Amino acid sequence: MDRIDRHASIKTGSKNTQDKREGGKYPFFVRSQEVERINTYSYNGEAVLTAGDGVGTGKVFHYIHGRFDVHQRVYRISNFSDRLDGRYFFFQFSERFRHRIMSMTAKSSVDSVRMETIAGMRIPLPPRREQRAIAAALSDSNELIRSLEALIAKKQATKQATMQQLLTGRTRLPGFGGEWAGRRLGELGAFRKGKGIRRTELRETGARCVRYGELYTRYQNYVVNPVSRIPKDVAATALRIEKGELLFAGSGETAEEIGICVAYIGEEPAYAGGDIIVLRAPGQDPVYLAHLLNAPVAARQKARMAQGDAVVHIRADHLAEIELPLPPVREQRAIAAVLSDMDAEIEALERRLDKARALKQGMMQQLLTGSIRLPIPEAVPEDDPGG
C-alpha cells in the first residue's frame, strides 16, 4: 500500500472555456457533472478525472487518454509513476475513493472533497504486469456490459418502431386487412376502483397484489406474477382482480405518464391497491390493449384529462372517453404475440446484463483486494479500458 501522491500528480482544471480550435480537433472538456465536446484542451496524455464538488462527488469518474480540458472543480490525476498502471489505478481509485467519500457523507453533509484527501489515500501496488492483467480483466467485463446495454437499447428502439407501425395499422401483419373500428374505452367494459393496501401491510407470503406505484416502477405493459403479497385479512377488504383485467395508475407525478396501464394476465387471483383503476374488457386482448393504452395515441389523451399540479390524478370517467383504433380480436392477439416475443427477448438480455454487472462487481471485490490473484501473462495488450 502506498499514497497516491507518491505515484501520480493531482491538479485541478481551469476556467478557460474559450474557443481555441487547433487543427480542427474537438477534444473533451470535462466538467464536474458532465462531459461535453468543445474546442479547447489543456492536457494531452493519460489521466483519471473525478468531480471535486457537487452531486458527482465520489460518484463520477472518467478515464481519458488523449487531449482534453477540465473544469476548475474537477481533479486530474495523471503522470503515473513506473510502478502504477493508469488503467489499474482507474478501477482501484473509483472503487476505493467512492467508498471513502460515502463514509464521510454518512458523518456529515459532504458535497466536496479536498485535494489532500485524494493525495493521502493509499492503494495496493502489486507488480505492474499484474496491475495490467487486472485492468484488462475488468475492462473486458465493462465491454461486455456496454455491448449488452447497446443491444438492449437497439432492441427497445426496434420494439418502439414496431409498436408505432402495428398499433396504428400503418403496417398490417400477414393475413389481416380491412378497416379498424374506432371505439371509446368506456364502451369496452366497466371500471372499478382499487382499495387500500399500505406498504406496512405487505408480507413475504400471502395473496399477490399490485400497488399503484409498481405500475410505474416494476411492471411494463403486463404482469404475470405480482411480487408484492398481503395477508388474508388485508386481502378480504381489497379489490380482487382476475386474469385479463387492465390496471391504470390513478395518480402520479406527471401528466405525460398518468394513467399508465398494465394488463394482469396471471392465473391466480390477485388484489389491487388504492389509486388503481381497474377495467375488465371482455372480447378484447388485454396485452394488446395495454400496449395501445401506453402508446402516444392514448397517452396524449390521458395527459389532456389529467388534473392537479404537484400530484396528478385521472378519473375512471376520463379514461372512459379515450378513443382507440381497434382491430378485430384475432388481429389484436397476433399483434400482442409479436410484441410479447420482443419483450421476452429484451427481458432475457436484461437478465444477462444483471448477471454481467454482478460478475463485474464480484471481480472488483476479489481482484482489487488481492483475494484472488490472476495468472500473470508474459504481456498484456495496452488497449483502451472500459470504465
For the chain, the domains span: 2-125, 129-165+333-387, 181-326
List pLDDT tens digits, range 58-103.
Answer: 666 788 888 777 777 788 899 999 999 999 999 998 887 777 766 6
Spell 139-172 as b/e; 16+ CB within 10 A means b: bebbebbeebeeebeebeeebeeebeebbebeeb
pLDDT band for 1, please (50, 70, 90 cuts).
confident
CATH number for the region 2-125 comes to 3.90.220.20
The candidate with the shortest Cα–Cα distance to 260, out of 318, 215, 324, is 215
Residues 18-68 pLDDT 10s: 444 344 343 445 554 444 444 455 678 899 988 777 656 666 678 888 877
Domain 181-326: give its CATH architecture: Alpha-Beta Complex (3.90)
User: Dihedral of the CA atoms 65, 66, 69, 75 (nearest 10)?
Assistant: 20
- Check if 2-125 and 181-326 are the same fold: yes
C-beta of residue 274 within 8 angstroms of C-beta of residue 234: no
Is residue 387 within 8 A of residue 62, CB to CB? The reply is yes
Give me the DSSP letters along 10-56.
EEE-BS--S---BTTB--EEE-SS-EEE-S--SEEEEEEEEESBSTT
Helix (H) or strand (E) segment spanning residue 364 = helix 329-367
Averaged confidence pLDDT in the chain: 86
Average pLDDT over residues 158-173: 95
Query: Domain 129-165+333-387 belongs to what architecture?
Result: Orthogonal Bundle (1.10)
User: What pLDDT, on the 0 to 100 scale, is given for residue 41?
Assistant: 56
DSSP 8-class letter at 327 = -
89: closest CA among 52, 120, 140, 49? 49
Q: How does pLDDT run across 204-213, given as a tens digit for each residue?
A: 999 999 999 9
What pLDDT digit, counting tens, does each position of 295-326 carry?
999 999 999 999 988 899 999 999 999 999 99
Question: What's the pLDDT score for residue 18?
Answer: 46
- Return the residue matching grid coordinates 501522491: 5
The model's pLDDT over 187-204, given as tens digits with 9 standing for 90+, comes to 999 999 998 899 899 999
